[in-house]
Amino acid sequence: MILEPGLAIADVHGLLVGKIKDYFASAGKQRAVLGLSGGIDSALVAALAADALGPENVHGILMPSEFSSLGSVTDSIELANNLGVGYDIVPIEKIYKRSMIEMIRWFELGKWSVAQENIQARIRGMILMTWSNRFDALLLNTSNKSELFTGYGTLYGDLCGAIMVIADLYKLQVYELARYENTLHGKEVIPESILVKAPSAELRPNQKDSDSLPEYEQLDPVLHALCEEELPPEEVVARGTDAELVERIVRLKKGAAFKVMQIPPVLTVGSHPIVPAFKQL
């Protein structure tokens, strides 16, 4: 796991839990809500929130679509039960199909568009913000640093929230901190099925993160070199990294800049956060 010099995984956990507590105390709020997708990011954020606020103050919402696997639903329910947090299931298929009917003139029959993925993400954002408003809770964002740097997220959809809990952690760090959560609790609070499944946004049939991004084992070291070490791309290549890979990641990072400028405040654990100082917590 790539960390700041002298910073152990227990320190990262303690920093995030403490900052969640401080943020909620400052905002005068007790309850948190988040979307549970069956993936590693939402699982870790749910566990951190339960550690910080108590499971009775954390609520998950499962929002399956026609593209969601059964395992994503069952894994989310198992996670919620393991943590002792409440949850609701709000299917989005009917809302999505109705939205497509109203906007069908903008789409080409039989040809998939990323806009269809973004519609689903924004429907989920609307549902989460509705629960947040209705029950006086703060929405926890579940995006990680690898996704944010490469633009793998939907503005006003899965990028919405009151705070970004794990936005200063790369994807590989998310996995390690999730495993630490299980060690810390002395039991499997985050199911092994979540820890081993291939990452997917499940916004189209058989989707995987690697359809849009390099594998995280390739992506994260390059991002770390570019961002944490502040190396120019040519020096990353000189270290032995494939030039086309570095060029692709730099292109993704540049294209994501307009999204990064609009994200919620980030809980930081390192010295090179993704956002300017005024958005760091």
Does the residue 224 lie in any domain? no
The predicted pLDDT at position 200 comes to 87
- What angle in degrees, to the nearest 10, is found between the helix axes of 171-185 and 40-53? 50
Does the residue 146 lie in any domain? yes
Diameter over CA atoms, the chain: 56
Positive or negative, the Cα torsion across 87, 174, 143, 3? positive
Cβ density class 220-256: b for 16+ within 10 Å, e for less: bbbbbbbbbeebebeebbeeebeeeebebbbebbeeb
CATH no. for residue 179?
A: 3.40.50.620
Does the residue 39 lie in any domain? yes
Instruction: Report the alpha-carbon distance of residue 202 to residue 255 in Å, rounded.
Output: 22
How many domains in the chain? 1
The predicted pLDDT at position 155 comes to 97
Does the residue 74 lie in any domain? yes
Does the residue 32 lie in any domain? yes
* pLDDT tens per residue across span 228-248: 999 999 999 999 999 999 999
Name the stretches of the chain with pLDDT < 70. Answer: 1-6, 277-278
Q: Which two tokens stand for residue 196?
A: 């081993």
Does the residue 247 lie in any domain? no
Does the residue 70 lie in any domain? yes
The predicted pLDDT at position 2 comes to 56
The predicted pLDDT at position 87 comes to 98
- Residue range(s) defining the domain that contains residue 187: 9-209+256-279
Q: Which two tokens stand for residue 223?
A: 């991002």
Residue matched to tokens 């499944």: 197
pTM as predicted: 0.95
Which is nearest to 90 in space by CA: 50, 131, 54, 118?
Answer: 131
**Residue 44 half-sphere exposure, CB side, CA atoms within 13 Å?**
27
Instruction: Report the alpha-carbon distance of residue 142 to residue 36 in Å, rounded.
Output: 9
Burial of 101 (0-12, 13-18, 19+ CB in 10 A): exposed
Does the residue 149 lie in any domain? yes
